[in-house]
Amino acid sequence: MEQTYISEFARFMDGFLAEHPEVVDDQRRRWHYYWELGDDPLTTEVAEAEAIPFDTYESNPPARAVMPARPM
């Protein structure tokens, strides 16, 4: 007989979710709300307009960054 370890928390959550199936339904609804939305054209347009060109070297400053003048 093979026994696998199940933590006390996992047993609690399994029991809680079995007694409260509405929690699982609520999780599914919220998951769809955040992950299955269509693209908003206005948001996409603003994001593209404000995007800073990506420099291939991560150690380089962004293309629009202005370096301060060195005092002499």
0.75 cut: is pTM over it? Answer: no
pLDDT of amino acid 63: 56
Measured CA distances, 33 to 24, 28, 29, 41, 46 (Å): 14, 9, 6, 18, 22
pLDDT of amino acid 69: 65
Give the pLDDT of the chain (72 residues) as one tens digit per residue.
Answer: 678 999 999 999 999 999 999 999 988 888 776 776 666 677 778 777 777 766 566 666 555 555 566 665
Residue 68 sits at φ, ψ, to 5 deg, of -70, 150
3-class secondary-structure state, position 53: coil
